[in-house]
Structures are given as structure tokens and as C-alpha cells.
Structure 1
Amino acid sequence: MGHVDLPITIGNYTIIQKFTVAEIDVPAVIGYDFLHKNNCTIDMGKGVLLLKDSKIDCIKESQMSSTFKIKLSDKLTIPPNTEVIISGIVEGDSSSIMNAIVEPLPSKHTETLLVAKALVDPSCGQVPIRMVNLSKYEQIMQPFTHVATCELIDTGSVSNEPRSEKLRRLSSSSCDEVNELPSLLQDLKLRSSELLSEGQIDQLESLLKRHNQTFSKNKDDLGRATAIKHKIDTGNAKPVKQPPRRLPLTKRDEVDKEIQRLLDGKIIEPSKSPWASCIVPVTKKDGSTRICIDFRPINSLTIKDSYPLCRIDDSLDALRGSKWLSVLDLSSGYWQVEMDENDKEKTAFTSTKGLFHFNVMPMGLCNGVATFQRLMEYTLAGLNWQTCLIYIDDIIVFSDSFESHLSRLSDVLDRIALQGLKVSPKKCSLFQKQVSFLGHIVSSEGIATDPDKIASVKTWPLPKSMTDVRSFLGTCSYYRKFIKSFAEIARPLHKLTEKNCTFDWTNECNEAFEKLQMTLMSAPILGYPDMTKQFILDTDASGFGIGAVLSQIHEGKEVVVAYYSKSLSKAQRQYCVTRRELLADQKEIDNSDETFETVDFLRMAKVQDSQEASCSNKTDSAMWYEHKTNEEMFEAQKSDNVLFNLFRLKSDYNNRPEWADVALHDVKLKKYWSQWDRIVLINNVLYRKWINTTTEESNLQFIVPEIWKENIMKMLHDDIQVGHFGIHKTVARAQNRFYWVNHKDEITKWVQNCIVCNSRKQPPRKAKSKMKQYNVGAPMERVALDIIGPLPISYKNNKYALIVTDYFTKWVEGFPMPDMETTTIVDNLVNHFFCRFGIPCQMHSDQGRQFESGLFKELCAKLKIDKTRTTSFRPQSNGLVERYNRTLENTISKYISKNQRDWDEQLPWALMAYNSSEHETTKFSPSMLMLGRELQLPVDLIYGPHPQEIEYPDETVSHNDYVKSMQESIWKVSAKARQNISKNSDKQKRQYDVKAHENTYKTGDVVWLYTFNRKPKLSPKLQRNWDGPYFVIEVISDLIYKIKKTATSKMQIVHHDRLKPFFGDVQNWVNEQENQRTDNTVNTVVASGI
């Protein structure tokens, strides 16, 4: 090979040494000549090399590490369904290793993120790593993440066979070994040669010969993939054993023969499993019998695998521009996937020949589709979506030329052979201009329905039940994008499938059934969408449905890309014609948005703008706004001076300009300047890069111009689709889409000022005024009135009860009443209360009409009674009697009969029980404070002495002495009661005021009023309780205010706790109210015919 002089550094010495270049397994070998020349000594006991005064430790080969971890050098982002090759850093000293194998770390090698095994040279400290992301999401890995290991291997064990030779050896025998194609491949060649020239046919034959081993020779010639095995995860579930089912006598021999065939093919084997499922024989089209297994009980226990299938419409759209197509179908694809050894027994089934389980994945398992799709995407990683499409066991190879198609087909067959799979030649179709794929005929011209698939529609029997209708609609709906106004045509049939609908086959249903049959049989060919061209959106609407046609101009001719239709809901049927058409626009754009999100739409309008004015129910909902084009976005940003200057700077400067260039500009531009690297210009539209800290995903935020801010904030907060949510949710929704300087502050203010939100939502801290004390010091100084009812009509024809409570003594009187008219109340007060206890100084009640009537006011005036009342909807202002009402109802309920009609008979006893009991506040019973003595109870008559014998046991008391003694006793008790009331009142106030939160209002302030009005036939839970805004007219006290809504509205006196501040634009609200009143006046005049 030759010689070369190289420097060697050992310790502190560098020596030039001549080396012979040779093929060896290590970087270099130092021989005896070097040791002798430089007087080197090897101390084997100490394991050191001595060179002059330097010592160098020797490392034995057995002590060298044979495995190294590999980590990423930079942050790695792998797009979905993408394969990448990146550079990894080898940890440790691998300079002496020439050959090693890269193995994936188990923690990083998952079913969706794969690391390929590879033979590498790690001597330079870096190795290539091949990774593939099979998921539909980006995979992000941080720098220095460990992803694989690098293990030293024996060079002699490494095969020098090139990969291409290995593929060729795996996929087929050499051409010299196969002189003639097998009969099945001859038939495939014949079927695939119709459109080929002689030279192309020869190339096809060469391809088939080279890959002949990849095609099954018969139905029992199956491949076996081992890269991914099927697992059945049933958790901790107990085994399920189904009892054997009887088979028809005519099927037994066929089932036994099929089982024997499966045994011979090692598809199944005898089992001792605790699991057992049943056989279900199915007759195929050719009359033969297929064995199916009822795995439903096992499926119900299996944890589901959510691995996705690709969308059929995405797959069909990906074939755009393809002139050559080939379809491959695996032979009994499921049976080419091995079962996991630990789960084989779960596939066991019973038969007359015994118990067997599957070695391969059987049909009928709930996760079978997910496993097979994962295997196929693993097998064809890097080719899927680029050269071929995969849908379970269907593979379609596409290209725009014969040469590229030949190469792509060969690559796909190589991958299939490498995985050990086999293809069924009977089901393949190669080098075609149009093929059947996923129930459609695809070609370079477009997509059409498959006549073989829809042939059943033409001969479909007339539906006899709701199930028949659903089955027919399910078949037709698969091809609904081929049928214009499908929803409108199928509406009578859809009505038959509604809940609680009686099946009634009418003439209208029959016409819809026949029209769908006829329309589907003559469905047009749909063109492929071209993302470089403008789309034409043509919409229409009727009273029951909406429809849209999406088309493009291809070679000067308008070509339909898709039809869209949808039935309208009951609410949507109320829309005017214009809104129904705009709804069709919005639904079709939403339907196409994921695919065509960056494409411009040209809307074909049928309705004049004047018709929009005729729509009675105006709305700012986002659904009525048309899709904004790049041109419209650019023009809007251009109209904003700040954004126009920013656009000019981004166009003129690659790097951030100097401060002097922006120093004289608006402060908003300076804030954009400070984020220079995050501002990007895409298609002449300004965006801001923003990273979501939760998902670590990068988003582009559209920078909103001034003229669109209000409209966007409406659509982010006010529209029905966004629900008038709070500040946090609205800001978060905006951040995912939009940006402008101070956007958080402006959105916060928008939400705080929202009229609708304020009319419904409670304030963050509910208003609660401090407790105001009202203490009295003598009986009958102040009494409270209230009415309980309506109650069940009693035997005495009573329905209500008037409750009178003395504030000082807590004495309570109750009077049953047949009604609550003012005359009845006055009669009870005068004849049953005033005449026994005297005239009170003050009477307090709520604002019931009985207490506010002229008669009641006249009574109070004649008797010189000071009448007071609570504010509206403020029962706390009459808390004494309200609290007693609850006690009274609780007491009566314990003694009342089942029909509750004797409540008025129990009322006096309940009053006696209360009046004779000690009150918590006064520490005395009401009778002691009101009468100067305790009420005598039956227990006193039976077990206790006469009260007079206790007080004066040995003497006779005169009347004067008794009166004097009673007065002293009452004064003493009353004084003590006043102390207790004051003490208890102070305690209650301290506890209540802890949670008090007062808002101070002054005359002229604008407020919201909490209302308790309930509209009939409406749910109280869905009503808006805050009404307003109102203006504060007068401050009566720090608790009571006079308010008014407008100059002509009625004035109200309300409590502080029913108010909250109004933050909106008052003048704007006033103007809206004036406009609304003007419109109502005009409408009234027009309606009256004036």
C-alpha cells in the first residue's frame, strides 16, 4: 500500500515515526522497532509504558467500553410522516473503534418514532442517525437527548454485501435463474401491457422476473413480517370462554378441511389456552367457506389502539398530476403479520377438531387495522405520500412518467420484500392510466365513482324499514361530494331516520330514492384541486338546505372539484335568503379549510346587497364574514400607518435597522422594532412568531391593523361560536391567532365593558353592605308584619297566615286568613292584635300591595302609627319575621296531618311553643318580656307547684304589692334583655361585616341593577339578571339609592347590594337606545298604514 511519516505524541514527547499503510481493524499498531529505537519499557505488572521520564497507562482491550450512548447535537424537529438523517455525538472515547452498530434506545424507539439500525464508523466522535416520525404530529427533541447506542462489533461478522445486492437477493432470484414467468405473473404482465410499447413491456417483464419471489404463487404462499407483531392488551381481564356453537351439517366437512389447510400452512396450531371463541362459517361469492371467529367478547376487553388511517379525500387529492398508476394488494395481508407470543392464546377458538389458536393476526380483532396500517407505514417509510399511498393492505404507486413509475414500483417491491411480505398478483394492476382505489376510479383527469361499487345502488330494493333507509343513505353518502344538492335530494329520506319518527314511505320519499339512484349512476368526474390556482365558490340555499360547488379553471375550462350540501337545523331555517347563502359559504370554506387554508376563494354571488338589508335579525357573527384573502390582509395592514412603516422596514432591511431609523416614529412601531426577529413577512402580510409555552409549538400570529381590531375582538368574544367567555380565555384565543401592541389591555377592556357579559355574570366580588343595626328598648315599640302562603286550603277554608312579631320581646302572633286582601289583614290587626296588646309605635313590612294600599295607609294615619317598609327584593331588611316564618313552618310540619289541611289548627300551639321558649338573643322567653310571666304549660300543672306558692309561700299578697312586684320584675328583666340584645347585635355585626364589600356611588354614576323578574315560559337559569345601565338620581343613605334608566322611565328605590358599577361606553349605549326607539316608532307607523 505504501509508507507515510506521522507524528506520535506520548506524554510530553512527540516523535516522527514511519508507518506502513495497510487494511487493519485498529487505527495504528506500534511495533518492536519503535520500542527499541526510543528505549521504551512495558511494565506488565503495573500496566504502564515507560518512555524516558514519562509513564503512560495501558488499557487492555477487555477493559475498553464496547457500548457508547449517542446524543443529539442540536434541537431536532421531525415533521409528521417524515424520515431524517442527522448527526449524533458519541459519548466517550471511540477513536479506536472502526466498526460499530447503532441500536435504538427503547425509551426513544416507539411505534411512531423509529430509530434505524445502521453500521457506522464512530472513530471521529460523530455518527449518522436515521430516524422516522410515523405520527401525524411534529416530534420535538431537545439538544443532548440520548436517542441511540453505538456498540462495537467484530469486523469479521460484518457482511460486505452491498444493500442493493441484499435487496435483490431477498426480493428475487437472478434473471438467469428465472427464464420464464410463472403463470400468475404472465397473467399480470398481460393485464398490465395494454398501454405499453414493446420496449416498455420488456422492462415490465424484467421487473416481474426480478421481483418474482415478492408475488404469491398461490393462496397458501404467504409472507411473514416480524418487525411489528400484533398485541392484544386486555389489562387484568379474566379469560373469556364462549361455549361451542353447533355448525350446520352441510358446513362441517368444509370447516374441517379449512382448519386442516390452516394447520398445514402454520396459520394456526393446537392450543391449551383458557380463552375460547366460536367459529362463524361464512359463504363467499364463489361458494367456498371462510372461517370467521367471533372475537366480540375479547374486543370488548381490549384497550383500543388509536393509530390513524389516512383520510380518503386526502389520499385521492394526493394523486393530482399522476399519469401512471399501479395498485398492489397483499395476499391475505392480516395473515402475514405475526401474533405476539404472549397473546397467541387469546385468539383461541373451538371446533369439532379441538382448540386452536392463531400464529398470525386473524380477522375480526378490534386493533387489527391499526397494527396493519402501522406495519405498512413502517415498511414504506419515506415512500408513503411521496411515491405511493397506503390504506391498510391497498397500495397505489403513482408518477407522471413511465421511467419514474418503473423506478418507484421497484422501490416499493424492494421494501415489501425486505419486510418479508408478499403481494397477490391476481389483485394487482400495474402501469394503468386509471385504476380503482378506495371505491373510486382515479385517473389523470380526476376522480369518479366506481361502477362496480355503485352497481348495487341501481338494483337496491325499495326500503321497508328505517334500517333499510339508513343502509341506503350510508352507501350514497360515501359519494355525496359527487352529487349536487345531495342534502336537499335526500331530505325526505333523512326525515324517516329521525328519532320518534314513524316509518311512512310517501311519494316524496320514493322520488328522492329514485333520484338518488339516477344521480349516482350518472355522477360526474371531479377534478383534482390545484393549490396554485384560484378556487371558485358557488353557493345556493333553499328553505331546508344549503349547497355549494367548489371549482377551478383547468386549461380554460371550469372543472368541479367538489360538491357540498347540508340540511338546515330548525334555527337555521329562520335565516333570510342572504344569510342562508352566507352560511353555505362559511360551511364550505370550513369544510375545505384544512386543505385549502392558504388559497384564495372567488365567491359567485347571487343575492344583491339590498337583500341583506331586508334581513330582520342583524348579527355580527363571524359566520357572515367572507374569507379574507392575502390581498385584503395586505391592504388592511397598509392602511395602518404603523404597520405600513413596519412593512417598509421589513422590506428594506434584512437585519434590524438602527434606533435612529425608528426614533421619530410612533411608540407602537418601536415596540415592533424591539421584536424584529419575531416579525416575518409572508406573501406581503406581516406575522409575528409566537411559541406556545404549554405545547412548545411555534405559531404565526397575524398582526392586526387598526381598522380590524374592533371586528376581531367582537368575533373573539361576542360571537355565538366563542361564548362570551372571560378575559383569560379570550386573550388565550387571540394569542393563538392574532397580535397587536397592547392587545391584552384592549381585550381586557373589551370584555369588562361587554354589555351582554355584564347583564349575566356576577362581579368578581359580590356587593355586600355592612350591617345596619336597629335596636328597640320596649314592647310594642316596633312590630313586623308578613304573610305566609299560599298554603293548602284548610278545613276552615284558610289559605294564608298573617304573622305579627314584636321586635323587643320577640312575641309572635299568627292569624289564619282565607285570603290576603287588605280588608282581611286590617280586620285581624284591629280585632285580634291591637285590641289585646295596644297600638304599636311603628309597623314594618315588605312592599306587598296589601301593606301599600290606601286603606292600610289610612289605618296607620288614624292610629298615629309610623309605617316603614323594606326596599324591593330585600327580605333581609325584615329579617326578624322572615326568620320566624321558617321556624313556624318547621314546627307545624312536625304535627300536621298527611293531607296538610289542619295547619291552621296547629298554628296556635306552634305560637305557644315559641312564645314560651327562651330566645337566643334576649335570653328570656317572649312571654316573660311581653306578659311579665312565663306561660303555664301542662307539665307545670302535673309536676310543679302553683307559681304563687313559690313566690309567696306563707303570706297573702295584696293587689298593690303584686303590681309593684311585677313592675320591678319587668323593669329588671327588660333592662337585662336590652343588654343582651345590644351585646348580641354587636356580635352579629362584627361577624357579618367581615365579608362586607361596599361600592360607593354618587349622583350621576351609572350602575347595573340585579333583577328578580321571571318571564313566563322561560327558564330562570338562562335569563340575564342584571339590567341596565341605570343612573343614580339621589343618594338617600349609604345603603339606599334612587335610580332611573331613562328620563321617561319610572324611578326606583333600591338597596346597595343589588347594584354593581357600569364600565361600558354610556354615550354609545344611549345612542343605541335612541336609534332603537326611532326604528320602533318608524315600524309602528308603517304597520299602522299611516
Structure 2
Amino acid sequence: MVLDSMSGSVIYSAIDLTDGFYQILMRESDIPLTAVSTPSGMLWEWLVMPQGLKNAPATFNRMVSHVLRPLRDFAPSYFDDIFVHSRAEGDLSAVEVHVRHLRQVFQVMRENKLYANLKKCVFCAPEIPVLGCYVSKNGVRADPEKISSICSWPTPTSPTELRQWLGLANYLHKYTKDYAGLIQPLSSLLKKDATWLWRPEHQAAFDSVEKSLASAPILMLPDDSKPFHVVCDASDFAIGCALMQFDDEGRERVVSYQSRQMKPAERNYPVHDKELLAMRYALIKFRVYLLGEQTFAVYTDHASLRTAMKSPHLSQRMARWLSFFAEYNFVVHYKPGKNNILADALSRRPDYDPRTVLGRQVIDDENEDDDHCAVCIASGINLTNVSPEMDLRDEIVAAYADDAVYAGIVAYIRAPSDETLRALSRNTRNQIDRYHLDGDLLCYNIDKFDAPRVVVPNDDNLRARIIHSFQDSPMGAHLGREKTFAAVSRDFFWSHMYKWVHKWVRTCETCQRVKPSKSSQAPLRPLPIATEAWRSVSMDFIFGLPPDAEGRTGVLVFVDRFTKMVHLIPVSDTVTAAETAAHFIDCVFRHHGLPESIVSDRDPRFTSAFWSSLFQLLGTKLSMSTAAHPETDGQTERVNRVLKDVLRSYATSFASWSSFLPLAEFALNNAEHASTGLTPFFANNARHPRVPALIAVGHPTLTRT
């Protein structure tokens, strides 16, 4: 942020403070803690803050930032460095403004007894060193001395020397567009248990980094007054992107560029998803500049991405990514590959190609997935037609190799030995009997009576994909943290799953938008507790919904008071008693038989002569709730409220709500109920339903009778 604040300035000064720690007094009660002994046997105490205390640098930095806070627009600081930058203002030249700024800084230093080391200061210069680089009105460039040190570094002869060299080179990675690809062969030498053997490909990578840094370009400082635009591209093995702006002369300049290799699973994505992955990577990398922008452009050489937001044919992965894109305000433009030179080159670096580079390590970007649990289905995405993805089982199995813990467990199960057992942590060894292999799929169960659960490795995309299928998909219905966790943990396992689900739901835009705040309810009159499935049924109507394609504006709700199973039927607001009876026979009686009692509100549809005669002939008792407190039938009232939330979460068109009722009914019946601890589906059928995630992974319980 220090560099970004200097955009537009043309004259600079750098002030280096000296003996700054000694300007801060020690708290009187802490002075004895600083006592040091001397050869004479005397103890001396520090009255001011000495060098070497753990919190001394942070304390000093905070003090300098505090005293310069009124001047931070033109005098940012970093520990003992103050950078003053100026530009022309009104009738004053840049030099005159800069002199005024320097006077203000000196006045603050004088008042707070801060002193500068004149030998290290630079005043009124067109370019100054700032935090390892040089800043001028043209932009920011790498420090020539650091580049010279890298280029003159002798060829490493051990992993330690290579780490030292990479530590220096990493500091300048933002100045080269293909840094991750260039150092990839070198990083393979630093892998655990890797044998040190310097081959020609390593020397070539070493020379390429030196050459790239030696010709590093001048990057443009970001200017908030000008719009940003992003270019991105994907090849078969890598993705690349660049943040761009036009300078005052109309030239397109690079602010920053990034590229990385694809992970093994990502290389199996279809072309459309790879291009979308490159766009997502760009927005993550440049989030600080793009989030909150009014509108910015994203250029890609994949024309179909222009309509990706409106497509009704979305894979689950694409839907998750589009929900992330909903945070930004941008327009996608098509730029053919022959014109998209920069991003195209970033993504097609030959060093990235796994077909030409064998046995090289893929470098993961640690900061790429900062918001991976905070994704949700964006408003306006139609998920009624979901296309199949790559086999989930294959992705999970392939990802075990990248998870050190589960890779070790799989290795031990396949070849039990003292050596493979010792490679595991103590906690893992204590629980090793809970794991077993179902083919090539690792499963976990607490004891022999516990149903096996598929172990999901430490792959953010896989875990997010699974949670998405249970929470955000039409079958999940956004039912909340507890129900989603119960559904996911029933068939899958990974560490800290509850935290994942909690963060996912807490940051789900749809959940926050459609769920009402809790409010107090009127007192309820308790009903007799049901003791058998479908022995007592509650029913109610929901009206006031938008007309669907057939003009229906209501929902008839049946709830079994024992198992909590729900049946939903769309109806018109003019539904008659005879039609209601027909729905009851079609949806309840033919599946579950006749209940002994029905709990309903005082509604003409239920008190009509036809309705009463029907239940008298069948010997069914009609229980009525109190007129003063219709919430007596609290169970159905609760279902009604949840159903309204579910339909709001589904709605892509208000007139299409009735087409989602079957999915809403399934979601409610497959969600664990707090009063029973079971899902209504399991309580009625003594088994859990098969869902797409289980079919995709080939869950072991599906093959059992």
C-alpha cells in the first residue's frame, strides 16, 4: 500500500530515522525488567526502549505511524523510513508542493524528537528506493543491486545454497511474468527426501530466472482515478493473468501479472472451466484493486465466457465460481488469442507443459483460496439443468497423493510395516484401525457399527464441491449449518468439517438474504405426542405466492407428526374441499394409509360438509386448533416458514416456484430433524436416499444389501 499511494507523484524524498527506539520512554513498572549486569557488578536499567525487545519494532512503527497520521496522504512510513512524494497542485509547481510537505514532516519530527540520518536521506529526487525497489513517475522497478546479486550468484551446490538464492529471487517475483514456471524445476530439488542432483534442466531454469530478472520491466503504479482491466487466459497446463491500466499518454501498461501451473485435477477440466479458472485466479490475485470498482473489463480469448452468467447449463463447479464472481462488477470481453498476447504467453510457457517437463513439482499458491468456504450460489443463476462433471471418485483418489497425512495412511494400509507406521503421526497411529480401503477409496468409521464415510483429502475444491452439493444445490435447499453438517458428515469425513460448513453457511449470500430473523412466537397449546408414523398428520395451506404457469398461488402442506415427513402439493387459491380430499388421498392415503387424527387450522376447506362427512365415514377424528392461537399447529407453521425460505433460495423466476416443490420436499425429508435426530426419510424407510454425490464417489454403502 506504500507503493500504491505514490501513484501520480513526480518528486520524491526518503528520510531514514536514526536512534528512534531511544525516543520512546519505558513504562516505569517495566524499567527493572531491562536491567543488565556489568563487569563491575553493577546493574544498569534502561529508561528508554532498548534494541532487542520482542515488541520494540512494532511499538516504534506504531508510534511513527501515529504521529504522521495527519500527513499520511503524502508521507507514508514503514518502521524507520518516511517517504515523501508530491505532485503539482493548482498554481504551485511540484517542487513548491514538495518543499511544503517536507516542512510539515520536519515539524512533526521536531515536535516528537525524531532524528534523521542525513547520510541515508534522499531529497527532491525523481526516483527513490522504497522497500527493495525504485519508484519514479514512470512506475516501479526492481532494485538493480538485488538483480546484480542474483545474476552474480554462483551455481548452488546444495539445497541450503539453493534456498538462499530462491529467498532472494522470490522477493522480486512480481517483476517476471512466468516466475512460478521458471523456478518449478528448482523447487523439485527441495522436496522432502529428494536426492540432490543438479541436471541440465536445473541449470537452464537457474539461467532463465537470472535472464528474466535482468530484463525486468517497469511496472505502472496503480491509479485509482483510472479504470482497471484484466486479461486472462488458460492453456492445457497453466493459467495466466495481468492487471492493466492506460497511462496518461494512452499506452497500455502492466500493473501486475501472475501465472501458475494447474494442479493435476485442474488439467482434467474442460476448456470452458479452465478459462473460468483463469478468470477466478485473476480476481483473487487482484482483489484489492478490483473489489468495489464501479465496472471493469475482463478480456479473454474464450468467447462463451461472455454469456456464462446467463447460461442455464452450469456444472456445479462453475456455479460455485460464478457465485464468487457475483462480488465483482465487471464485463467480459472477447479478445482473440492472437491479440491476447500477454495472458496467452503467461499460460503457454513451455516450462509449464507436463508433456515436456517430467517429474517436476507443482507449486501451489497459498493465498489463492482465502475465501474458498465463503462461496454460494449467486442470485440469478439457474441450476435446474446441471451437467455432469468428472467422476468425483477419481478426483478424490488422485488428491490423496497430494495430502501427506492420507497418503501415508493409504501407504500403510496397502503395505503394513513398521516403517510405514512410524511415518505416521502419533494421533494418526492411534486411529489407524478406523481407516480401511474400499478399492482405491479411503474410508473412515469410528467402530464396526458405524457406517463407513469417504475420506476427503485436503483439497479445497473437492471439499467445497461436496458441501455445495449438500447446501447450495436444489437438493440441499440452503437448510442451514446443522442440517448441512449432519448430511455431509453422514457420508464424508475430513478434519474440522464443522468449521468448514459453519463458515460456508455464514458467508452464503442466499442464506443471509432469505432467512428471517428469529422472533418471539405466541404461546402454543401442546398437542398429544404422536407415537407412530403417519398415525397423526398435520396439514395447512400457504397462500399469497406469485402465480405459476398454471395460475396456482398456494401450497397444501402435509406433515407426519411422528417422523416429520413432508408432502407438498401446489394448489390454486380457490381450491375446494373435494379437491383437498383428492390431494389427501393421492399424496397421503395411498402411500401411508389413513391416520387416526388430523391437525388443521379452522379453515372452511376442512369444516365443510363434504370434508366432515368423508372423515366420519372413514372414522377419522379432526382435531381443531384454538381460534385465538392458530400457532397451536406449530409444527406445520414451522414447516411453512422453512418452505418459504427454501422457495426464495430456489427462485430464479418468481413464476417457477412450483417446479421446485419436488426438490424442496426431498430436501426437507432428507434433513436431520432436531426433535428426532433422524431424517424423515430414514425414519420412514430405515435407509438414507441416494444422492448424486454418493453415486459420483461410488460410496461403499451403495453396494451393500
TM-score by length of 1: 0.32
Q: How high is the TM-score relative to the length of structure 2?
A: 0.48
Structure that is richer in helix per residue: 2
Q: Which has the higher contact order (CA 8 A, sep 6+)?
A: 2
**Which has the larger strand fraction?**
1
- Structure showing greater radius of gyration is 1
